Structure 1
Amino acid sequence: MNQVGGLIFLIALFLFSTFLNWYVFQAYKTILSGMDSERTKHVLNLLYWLIFGGVSIWVVYTFQQIFKAGEISYAHQHVLNVFLTIVVTQLVCTVFLFGEDIFRNIQAGFSLLMNGKSATSFPSRLKWLSMLALAISMVPLTSFVYGITKGKYNFTVHKEVIYFDDLPEAFDGFTITQLSDIHAGSFKDMKAVKKGVDLAIAQQSDLFVFTGDLVNHEASEIDPMIDIFNKIKAPFGQFSIIGNHDYGDYVSWESKDAKAENFKKFINQHSKLGYNLLIDEHVTIEKDGQHIILVGVQNWGKGFQSKGDLQKALEGVDPQDFKILLSHDPSHWDYEVKVEPRKIHLTLSGHTHGMQFGIETPIIKWSPVQYRYPNWAGLTDHEGRFLYVNRGFGFHAFSGRVGIWPEITVIELRKKR
């Protein structure tokens, strides 16, 4: 982001934060209105603005530091945690207050029409509604506190059985465990990481795949976890691809050579992990005299780097072969994979994290990320071509998860009868 763009963003951020602070203050002030001591009210009002105004300034300063450094540090993550928690909490409160304001304006307008301007007084805020708004806003507050402290380690297994007409008989019942978006630089609790890895190992799948974003920025981030993740073994091998963060594009380097050296180390890390890194290429998985093709491409993302070369990866592949593609960004499936003349039966992606925030119930499935990615979590199908989007193992920027838990995916391939 250039200097002008950064300045505009910081000003907009401060104004937005100040507006939310002011709007919620209306409820806070209404509740305090019943106090007898004016002095106490003034002190509490001042305390409110010192706390929330101070947070707004702190957040703006932190974003300025992020722009300057070119990366989000561990310390920055804590500030973003506080900011997101407060913003979502205030937005919930604001919805109630805004609804009341609409009703108050209608009342005032009706009174003006019926009684004339001199007889009109703008209705006061309802104290009970302000108390209700603040009480309900405690729900997102406690949810975010849980998500920051516990939710990001709430590893959850998602299982899908997918049926295909042309799956080779030998692969009927074949299982694949998928991890994605480890973002190693965000983890500090190695016991929690081991808990998630042990859960992946316990699935005892035939094949293991990792679909990109091993690190946030630097290859060294995975060093403390190599001896944890390399315990994952599968009878038919462990395979991986490159995600958008893995290139080191989101951090400032002292030179092009330093960036190149980091990427070279990143490639070597996959060998230490016991993963066969697929870079625009394919391998044949054989079982009982039959085979399927596993294809892996570099990152290809709409709005991100599109380095992946699907045509190169498919060179020499029989169009009739059963094919599974590892591609980090699900937009690749939307724009290229699902219309590829050589049918790719199943694509496994990640990248979205489900934005680490949302609601997933049997009735409601929602996350803000859906306004950017139509396929942001779980399974989708287009004329017999399937896409599965993993919700991610780790986290980035916001070091928490609210409603969208870290995922271990288990795919079972079945042949239609």
Structure 2
Amino acid sequence: MGRLLFLLVFNVGAWAVLRSLWPGLLRKWRLGVFALGTFLSLVAWLYSAVAGRHAQLPVGDAALRVFSVGWSVAIIMIVLAGAPFLLLRRWLDRPARQAPPLTAPEANPTPPVNMARRNLLTNAGRAVPLLAAGTSSVGLANGYTQFSVREVDIHLPGLPPAMDGFRIGQITDVHVGTFIDTQYLQDAVRAMNDAKVDLQVMTGDLIDDLDQLDGTMAALSECKARHGMLAILGNHEHWRGLEAIRQAYADVEARGGPVRLLVDTSHAFEHAGQRVRVVGVDYPMSGRSHRVKAERMQQSAEAGFRDVAPEEVVLCLTHHPDFFPLAAERGARLTLAGHTHGGQVAFLGVPAFWFAFKYMLGRYRQGDHQLYVSGGTGHWLPFRIGVPTEVTVLTLRATGASAAVRTS
């Protein structure tokens, strides 16, 4: 309900901003359109708050959710971008408010306010709703575009020569459901096949709609990588139906499929004579509670890294990127994570919500250990600006001991 109240306040704020910046805009039928848009946008959030975060609306679920996202983004932008114009205009009007009343008629009174500046400011402020609507539309359009294949070289000092050129394909945060279908997932797996990666990984938040679970597992089973696909759980698996999803993974493995689920455990294989161990840890929170996060991560670290041997090259899969320090302490040369979606909005490569996560997007380093946080292969809300959906192909390099690592 807190999110609903937040959006209600912003809708009221947007009405006040538009009324001040553009007094003639919200009149007659246009005021009715604004009220209807506010009502419809809040319905989707209200229904989720009452029936459950992932409950589907009885009618027009996808269309109403898309509209709600676009409307909410535009409303928030109107308030955040329009408020400074109002404050500046009020500051320019201050001389008129503070001027003493005239005691005698004046033939040519000097205007206390610079009207040219005030009019320029007013006209610029009227562009705010157009900018908000345009940005919202671009974000929604980007949200529906196909993923890109992103090639990333990971330079690891001291990497055994046998692992030089080892290729990993990563998908994460696919969210098969309202906005992402199984064909999209199938295309992502085929993209990794076409890239001829040695290992495919899926780092959580695979599915939101269990009605599509069979098709989802069939899409994953198209993996052709020589070492198969290793998957872990994310928070959405815990929320949407953990037992059914785990059973679906188990059924694929029992049939000899190429997909294996790791839950606080590891899987070892040999590549060109070098033994490799991949540790996969569970999502650290129970439900939505963050109070147990540190304790759960510590438990996962102890269980997942229990069988690690000194001669092995260790990789780690975690949905939540905050597990990175624990993985690095236990010898994981590379940790792959998702969860953040890269914030889904970035300007000039900098995530707009950079403060939400310590590790938001891209590469990070702790000593000789590295973390890569994907921007996500899908989304549960179709809105992206500057953070495209991605299928990531990571190539390990043994020759880059002094290579610089960019932190995103």
Give the TM-score normalised by the residue count of structure 1: 0.80
Give the 3 Å change call, closer, same or farther, for CA 144–14 of structure 1 in structure 2: closer
Match of 2:106 in 1: none
Match of 2:404 in 1: none
Match of 1:29 in 2: 23
One-letter amino acid matched to 1:230: S
Residues 169-180 of structure 1: matches in 2 within 5 Å? 169-180=161-172
Once the two structures are aligned, what percentage of the paired residues are identical? 23
Q: C-alpha displacement at 1:126, in angstroms?
A: 4.9
One-letter amino acid matched to 1:378: G
Aligned residues: 380
Match of 2:178 in 1: 186
Match of 2:206 in 1: 214
1:105 matched to 2:97? The reply is no
Partner SS, residue 184 of structure 1: coil
1:303 matched to 2:285? The reply is no
Residues 79-118 of structure 1: matches in 2 within 5 Å? 79-95=64-80, 97-111=82-96, 115-116=99-100
Give the 3 Å change call, closer, same or farther, for CA 183–269 of structure 1 in structure 2: farther
Q: Deviations over 1:122-152 (max 9, x none)?
A: 8889555444444465445334334434533
Match of 2:260 among 276, 287, 292: 276
1:366 matched to 2:351? The reply is yes
One-letter amino acid matched to 1:201: N
One-letter amino acid matched to 1:63: W
1:63 matched to 2:13? The reply is no
Match of 2:307 in 1: 316
Give the 3 Å change call, closer, same or farther, for CA 317–94 of structure 1 in structure 2: closer
1:262 matched to 2:244? The reply is yes
Q: In 2, distance between residues paired with 1:86 and 1:261?
A: 36
Give the 3 Å change call, closer, same or farther, for CA 326–312 of structure 1 in structure 2: same
Q: In 1, distance between residues paired with 2:336 and 2:64?
A: 33
Give the 3 Å change call, closer, same or farther, for CA 337–227 of structure 1 in structure 2: closer
Q: In 1, distance between residues paired with 2:157 and 2:100?
A: 75
1:409 matched to 2:403? The reply is no
Q: In 2, distance between residues paired with 1:386 and 1:278?
A: 21
Contact 2:17/2:86, CA 8 A, preserved across alignment = no
Match of 1:329 in 2: 320
Q: Deviations over 1:229-277 (max 9, x none)?
A: 3222201221111111112x3x6xxxxxxx5753453433653763111
Q: In 1, distance between residues paired with 2:291 and 2:230?
A: 23
Q: C-alpha displacement at 1:202, in angstroms?
A: 1.6
Contact 1:173/1:413, CA 8 A, preserved across alignment = yes
**Which segments of 5 or more consecutive residues in structure 1 lack a partner in the other structure?**
1-5, 33-43, 252-258
Q: What is the RMSD computed on CA atoms of the aligned residues?
A: 3.1
Match of 1:356 in 2: 344
Give the 3 Å change call, closer, same or farther, for CA 140–56 of structure 1 in structure 2: closer
Contact 1:217/1:246, CA 8 A, preserved across alignment = no
Question: Structure 1 stretch 230-239 or stretch 186-195: which is displaced more?
Answer: 186-195
Q: In 1, distance between residues paired with 2:271 and 2:245?
A: 34
Contact 2:235/2:283, CA 8 A, preserved across alignment = yes
Match of 1:49 in 2: 31
Q: In 2, distance between residues paired with 1:105 and 1:384?
A: 55
Contact 1:246/1:266, CA 8 A, preserved across alignment = no
Give the 3 Å change call, closer, same or farther, for CA 9–175 of structure 1 in structure 2: closer
Contact 1:330/1:350, CA 8 A, preserved across alignment = yes
Give the 3 Å change call, closer, same or farther, for CA 78–57 of structure 1 in structure 2: same
1:379 matched to 2:367? The reply is no
Partner SS, residue 28 of structure 2: helix
Give the TM-score normalised by the residue count of structure 2: 0.81
One-letter amino acid matched to 1:48: R
**Which segments of 5 or more consecutive residues in structure 2 lack a partner in the other structure?**
103-108, 402-408
Give the 3 Å change call, closer, same or farther, for CA 25–84 of structure 1 in structure 2: farther
1:164 matched to 2:156? The reply is yes
Give the 3 Å change call, closer, same or farther, for CA 144–270 of structure 1 in structure 2: farther
